Amino acid sequence: MLNIARFAARATLVGASETIQRTTACYFHRSSIIQSSGSNPGRFEDKPEFPGSRSQYVSKLEFIEPESQEGIPVYRVLNREGNIIEESEDPKLPKEIVTKMYRDMTLLNTMDKVLYESQRQGRISFYMTNYGEEGTHMGSAAALDPSDLVYGQYREAGVLLWRGFSLDQFMNQCYGNAHDLGKGRQMPVHYGSKDLNFVTISSPLATQMPQAAGSAYAFKLQKKDNVVICYFGEGAASEGDAHAALNFAAVLDCPIIFFCRNNGYAISTPTKDQYRGDGIASRGPGYGISTIRVDGNDPFAVYNATKAARKTCLSQNRPVLIEAMTYRIGHHSTSDDSSAYRSVDEVSYWDRQDNPITRLRHFMVNQGWWDEEAEKEWMLDARKRVMKAFAEAEPRKRPSPEELFNDVYDELPPMLQQQMKEMKEHVMQHKEHYPLEQYEKMT
């Protein structure tokens, strides 16, 4: 330290520039060499000030092993019998909200059954069910404001249902008919609704994550009183876009809820082959993100966590990560046969022992809000509603071929006008090869 002081004095004596003097003074101010207190005031002690870390020096060589860290606990409110575990954690939701949760969960389940069978019969090209994960949908959706922006993956249909996406709209999208909001341009289950603040789903995994972080940053700059919620699976968390999004949101303090549905399988890849750490939640603190792990089959736990996360995002302008532990009871999609990589007994166990629909029904029965008669009446009604929407969507014509060129630019440019003209001429010249009766008429 004395040598540094002599250097400072010498620099001044030989007429060093003011810049050098300021730099030297700054070095003194930020030096990591500090005098220790205690019986030996002349002793000095090193303390690390490396940028980007918070730690202490140690003299023992020791690697941090993953097994040495305790697993992140799973927060829950309802047990499997539908009883509140800790009274202080009861969200005290009114009967109307809980009933809507249950009705929407079972309605989604009914729609899944009908559309899955429709694909098997060749009526639609593709489908993905939500079996077993309904609690993550309704619990989180109920805790959000309708004006909050949602980025989904492809297994969050319940969030849209909660917000008011009708059965007709679901059916029209899966059939790709002329009433579809996307005009038949997307695969089935790739929903979207500008009115309901739900960004259209993309097939590639995790592409929604950096987009969601960017939207949240825009909300911050605009000082909006809203958050963004981004849903993704544990498989998507292995994509590079996931790292980019989490780091971006943390560094720029974006008001976004990252909601990971950890359902045990990324298509056919089990979690044991997906990562070695303690799930996805363990990554949050490493990014500097507040994190919680919840029981995804407990809609009340999901509700409480999402509500608290939203409050944190708004009051502190920073991201939150929620990992909802659940189980995918259905196949990944109609293109998958999960019996090739998991046993029927395993699936049956989760369906019978820890189904979110069953758990919430137990709670409602315990409260005296539901009984067998109400269950029978509602399930019949739900089936009728789904079949009505199904019957109306199937015969509807497909969008006009002209829609291929619309919604690309605000105004159709000359090059696309020419392409449309050539397409029409070609189709009309060879119309015997095109089933035009199945499409809306071209102008």
**Exposure letters 79-107 (e unless 16+ CB within 10 A, then b):** eeebebeeeeeebebeeeebbebbebbbb
Percent of the chain with pLDDT over 70: 90
DSSP state of 396: S
Query: What is the spatial distance between Cα 366 and Cα 39, in angstroms, rounded to a whole number?
Result: 66
What are the residues whose beta carbons fall under 8 Å from the beta carbon of 326, sequence distance 6 or more?
A: 132, 133, 135, 136, 261, 262, 263, 264, 296, 297, 356
Whether residue 207 is predicted with pLDDT greater than 80 in this model: the reply is yes
For residue range 56-77, what is the model confidence (pLDDT) as tens digits?
A: 899 999 998 888 888 999 999 9
Q: Are strands 265-266 and 256-262 parallel, antiparallel or unpaired?
A: unpaired
* Confidence at 50, pLDDT banded by 50, 70, 90: confident
Catalytic residues: 117, 203, 332-333
- Average pLDDT, rounded, for the chain: 92
Backbone angles phi, psi at 132, to 5 degrees: 90, -15
Do residues 321 and 284 lie in contact, with contact meaning Cβ atoms separated by under 8 Å?
yes
Handedness of CA 363, 369, 374, 378 (dihedral sign): negative
* Confidence at 229, pLDDT banded by 50, 70, 90: very high
Q: How far apart are the first and last CA of the chain?
A: 85
Range of lowest pLDDT (35-44, 77-86, 227-236, 339-348): 35-44
Task: Specify the pLDDT at position 314.
Answer: 98
* Torsion angle in degrees (nearest 10) through CA of 176, 158, 242, 318: 130
Whether residue 134 is predicted with pLDDT greater than 60 in this model: the reply is yes
Task: Specify the pLDDT at position 92.
Answer: 98
Among 170, 152, 35, which residue's Cα sits nearest to residue 116?
A: 170
Range of lowest pLDDT (247-256, 362-371, 403-412): 403-412
The neighbour count for residue 193, using CB atoms within 10 Å, is 18
Query: What is the spatial distance between Cα 353 and Cα 141, in angstroms, rounded to a whole number?
Result: 24
Task: Specify the pLDDT at position 41.
Answer: 53
In the predicted model, what is the mean pLDDT of residues 179-196? 97
Whether residue 257 is predicted with pLDDT greater than 60 in this model: the reply is yes
The domain spans of the chain are 73-393, 401-438
In the predicted model, what is the mean pLDDT of residues 387-392? 98
In the predicted model, what is the mean pLDDT of residues 316-343? 98
Do residues 149 and 226 lie in contact, with contact meaning Cβ atoms separated by under 8 Å?
yes
The neighbour count for residue 77, using CB atoms within 10 Å, is 24
3-state secondary structure of 265: strand
What are the residues whose beta carbons fall under 8 Å from the beta carbon of 97, sequence distance 6 or more?
A: 142
For residue range 357-372, what is the model confidence (pLDDT) as tens digits?
A: 999 999 999 999 999 9
**Exposure letters 310-340 (e unless 16+ CB within 10 A, then b):** bebbbeebbbbbbbbbbbbbbbbbbeeebee
Task: Specify the pLDDT at position 68.
Answer: 80
* Confidence at 45, pLDDT banded by 50, 70, 90: low
Helix (H) / strand (E) containing 321: strand 320-325
The CATH code of the domain at 73-393 is: 3.40.50.970
* 284 dihedral zone (left: phi>0; alpha: psi -120 to 50; beta): alpha
Whether residue 438 is predicted with pLDDT greater than 50 in this model: the reply is yes
27 or 310, which is more confident: 310
Q: Are strands 228-233 and 256-262 parallel, antiparallel or unpaired?
A: parallel
Whether residue 206 is predicted with pLDDT greater than 60 in this model: the reply is yes
Task: Specify the pLDDT at position 11.
Answer: 41
In the predicted model, what is the mean pLDDT of residues 284-290? 97
* Confidence at 2, pLDDT banded by 50, 70, 90: very low
In the predicted model, what is the mean pLDDT of residues 128-151? 99
For residue range 293-327, what is the model confidence (pLDDT) as tens digits?
A: 999 999 999 999 999 999 999 999 999 999 999 99
Range of lowest pLDDT (46-50, 92-96, 135-139, 171-175): 46-50
